[in-house]
Amino acid sequence: MKHPAIPLAVALLLISFALISYRVIWLKYPIFPPAPEKVWRLSMDGQVTGGEKEITVMVGLPFTHRGQMVAEERIRSGTLAFNLLHEGPNQVGVWSGVISPRGEAIGYSATIQVRPPQPIKTKTAILEPYPLNTQEEDQALAKRLVRKWDFLPAADRLRRIAAALRGIWGSPPPEDQDLREWSAFQENHIHLDAVLLLLRAASLPARVVEGLQLVESVTGSTLTWVEVWTGQEWDSLQPENGEIYQQPVPLLALTTNGLPLIRVINGELSEVRWTLNRGIISQWRMQFERIMSSNRFLDRWSLFRLPADFQGTFRILILVPIGALMICLLRNIIGFPTFGIFLPVLMALAFRNTGLAYGLGIFWGVVLFGYVVRRQIDKLRLLLVPRLSVILTLVILCIIFFALLGNKLGLREFMAVGLLPFVILTMTIERFFVITEESGTREALWTAVGSAGVAVITYKILQLEPLQLTFFVYPELLFVIAAIQVLLGRYTGYRLLELFRFRGFWGSS
Partner 1 sequence: MILKAVHWLREVGVLGMNRRNAEYIMRFNPRSFFPLVDDKLKTKQLAKAHQIPTPPLYHVIEHHGDLGDLAELVSDHQEFVVKPARGAGGSGIILVSDHSEEGFTKQNGEVIPLKALTYHISDILSGIYSLEGLEDRALIEALVHPNTVFDGITYLGVPDIRIIVYRGVPVMSMVRLPTRSSDGKANLHRGAIGVGIDMGEGTTLKGVHRSSVVTYHPDTKKPVTGIQVPHWESMLLIAARTGDMTGIGYLGVDLVIDRERGPVLLELNARPGLQIQIANQAGLLRRFDLIDKAPPEVFSTPEIRVAWALDTFSARTAN
Using alpha carbons only, what angle is made at residue 54 by residues 49 and 57, rounded to the nearest 5 degrees? 60
Nearest Cα neighbor of 22 from 469, 474, 479, 484 is 474
Q: Is 496 in the site for partner 1 (CB under 8 A)?
A: yes
Cα–Cα distance measured from residue 211 to residue 319, given in angstroms and rounded to the nearest whole number: 35
List the one residue from 107, 312, 335, 418 that touches partner 1 (CB under 8 A).
Answer: 335
Q: Is 509 in the site for partner 1 (CB under 8 A)?
A: yes
Cis peptide before 174 (omega within 30 of 0): no
Q: Is 2 in the site for partner 1 (CB under 8 A)?
A: no
Nearest Cα neighbor of 72 from 273, 251, 285 is 285
Which of the stretches 161-169, 209-217, 276-284, 437-445 binds partner 1 when contact is defined by CB under 8 A?
A: 437-445
Which of the stretches 86-94, 119-127, 380-388, 451-459 binds partner 1 when contact is defined by CB under 8 A?
A: 380-388
Element (H, E) at 422: helix 422-439
Q: Is 123 in the site for partner 1 (CB under 8 A)?
A: no
The three-state (H, E, C) secondary structure of 157-213, written as one string: HHHHHHHHHCCCCCCCCCCHHHHHHHHHHHHHCCHHHHHHHHHHHCCCCEEEEEEEE
Task: Rank residues 25 and 384 by Cβ distance to partner 1 and give the closer one.
Answer: 384
The distance from CA 411 to its chain's CA centroid, rounded to whole angstroms, is 17
Residue 502 Cβ vs partner 1, minimum distance, rounded to whole Å: 5
Binding mask 475-494 for partner 1 (x = CB under 8 A): --------------xxxxxx
Q: Is 131 helix (H, G, I), strand (E, B) or coil?
A: coil
Q: Is 507 in the site for partner 1 (CB under 8 A)?
A: yes
Size of the site for partner 1 (CB under 8 A): 29
Task: Rank residues 129 and 507 by Cβ distance to partner 1 and give the closer one.
Answer: 507
Residue 424 Cβ vs partner 1, minimum distance, rounded to whole Å: 18
Which of the stretches 26-34, 78-86, 186-194, 495-503 binds partner 1 when contact is defined by CB under 8 A?
A: 495-503
Q: Is 381 in the site for partner 1 (CB under 8 A)?
A: yes
Residue 451 Cβ vs partner 1, minimum distance, rounded to whole Å: 18
Q: Is 499 in the site for partner 1 (CB under 8 A)?
A: yes
Neighbours of 466 (CB within 10 A): 14
Strand partners, 67: none
Cα–Cα distance measured from residue 68 to residue 88, given in angstroms and rounded to the nearest whole number: 18
Q: Is 172 in the site for partner 1 (CB under 8 A)?
A: no
List the one residue from 385, 397, 436, 450 that touches partner 1 (CB under 8 A).
Answer: 385
Contact 146, 198 (CB under 8 A): yes
DSSP label at 78?
Answer: T
Q: Is 508 in the site for partner 1 (CB under 8 A)?
A: yes
Task: Rank residues 297 and 494 by Cβ distance to partner 1 and give the closer one.
Answer: 494
Residue 386 Cβ vs partner 1, minimum distance, rounded to whole Å: 10
- Contacting positions for partner 1 (CB under 8 A): 332, 335, 381, 383-385, 438-440, 443, 489-496, 498-499, 501-509
